[in-house]
Each structure stands twice: as C-alpha cells, then as structure tokens.
C-alpha cells in the first residue's frame, strides 16, 4: 500500500506520542503515563492526544506493545529450549512492574484485557511450538510452566536464584 504524505505525517506524530508514553512508562510506571503530561511535553494542547488515542487505555496498550515488540525482535531463535525460556524470563523480570500494572488495569479496561489475552496466547503458542512432541500432556505442561514462571517473576528473586528455580522447574515439569 502506497502511503500519502499526510499518512506519513500522521505516523510520525503517533510515533512521537507512543515514544513519549513508552519512555514515561519505563521510567516512572503507570502514574507517570499522563495524557496531559505527554501533551505538555510535545507542546500541544492538553487534549490533542485524544485525536489519535480515544482513551488513556489505548495509549497504554500501544506503548506496552512497542516495548514488547522490541524484546520479541531480539529473542534467540535457536538453542536449548530451557535456555530460551530463561532468556525470556530475564527480559520479563525487567518489565515485571509494568506487567503487574497491566494485569491490574485489565480488570478495569476491556481494551487492556483483550491485549493481555493476545500477548499470553502468543507466549503459549511459542512455548507449545518449542516443546514440540517432547512431552505427553502439552497443554497442562505449558500451563504449569507458564504458571511457575509467572510465580517466579512475582517473587522478584536475585538472578542466580531465579535462573536456578526456572531450570529446576523445567526439569521437574518437562523433562522429569
């Protein structure tokens, strides 16, 4: 699809807003993600952002999506499955506060809830694909593996202990 000049302008403006949102989210969390604040930062009227994003929730989703895509693009495509799981868990640990916020907001916003489901399903599919036919009851195993990883992330342990527990879980749940 060929893009018109105005379309490119629009994309740039949206990108500028999402960029500001992403930076604020990573710096100070959800409470730093202020629609009014971003508008001030970009030097426009405080309600200008609403032309591009109908609610703050939509902007939140766009910002989180940008963050997750960056990670997804850098993820290792080969190597032992358990190593790749550890890699992903490491990245997610850095984003843990943000993920907790998303979980919390999902209870109040269908937009965020839908996005969260989408992301989780992607993760599940990747994991099912990676485990392949190495395991009997794929669904339960994946469910438990995701669950234990989420639980470990919640603990916010030191990296050595976290890695050890992930490997130990993998051993006991998958190749045990």
Partner DNA sequence: ACCTGAACACCGTTCAAGT
Rounded least distance, CB 60 to DNA, Å: 9
CA atoms within 13 A on the CB side of 149: 24
Of residues 146 through 165, those in contact with a copy of itself by CB under 8 A are: 146-152, 154-155, 165
Site stretch for DNA (CB under 7 A), options 48-56, 124-132, 137-145, 157-165: 48-56
* 55 part of the interface to DNA, by CB under 7 A: yes
Q: Which of 46, 70, 83, 114 binds DNA (CB under 7 A)?
A: 46
Q: Are 38 and 82 in contact (CB under 8 A)?
A: no
* 135 part of the interface to a copy of itself, by CB under 8 A: no
Rounded least distance, CB 61 to DNA, Å: 12
The H-assigned helical ranges of the chain are 5-28, 35-42, 56-74, 81-94, 96-106, 110-131, 138-155, 159-173
Judged by beta carbon distances under 5 to 8 A according to partner kind, the member of a copy of itself, DNA, none in contact with residue 48 is: DNA
**Torsion angle in degrees (nearest 10) through CA of 13, 14, 16, 22:** 170
Q: How far apart are CA 71 and CA 40, in angstroms?
A: 29
Binding site residues, DNA, CB under 7 A? 6, 9-10, 13, 33-37, 44-48, 50-52, 54-57
């Amino acid at each position: 699809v060929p893009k018109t000049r105005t379309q490119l302008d629009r994309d740039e403006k949206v990108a500028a807003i999402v960029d500001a949102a992403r930076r604020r989210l990573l710096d100070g969390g959800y409470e730093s993600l202020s629609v009014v604040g971003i508008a001030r930062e970009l030097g426009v009227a405080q309600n200008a952002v609403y032309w591009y994003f109908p609610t703050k929730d939509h902007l939140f989703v766009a910002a989180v999506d940008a963050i997750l895509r960056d990670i997804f693009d850098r993820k290792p495509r080969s190597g032992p499955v358990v190593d790749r799981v550890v890699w992903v868990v490491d990245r997610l640990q850095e984003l843990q506060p943000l993920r907790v916020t998303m979980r919390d907001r999902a209870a109040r916003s269908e937009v965020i809830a839908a996005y969260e489901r989408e992301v989780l399903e992607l993760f599940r599919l990747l994991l099912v694909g990676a485990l392949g036919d190495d395991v009997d009851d794929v669904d339960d195993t994946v469910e438990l593996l995701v669950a234990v990883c989420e639980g470990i992330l919640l603990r916010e342990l030191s990296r050595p202990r976290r890695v050890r527990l992930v490997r130990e879980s993998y051993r006991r749940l998958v190749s045990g």
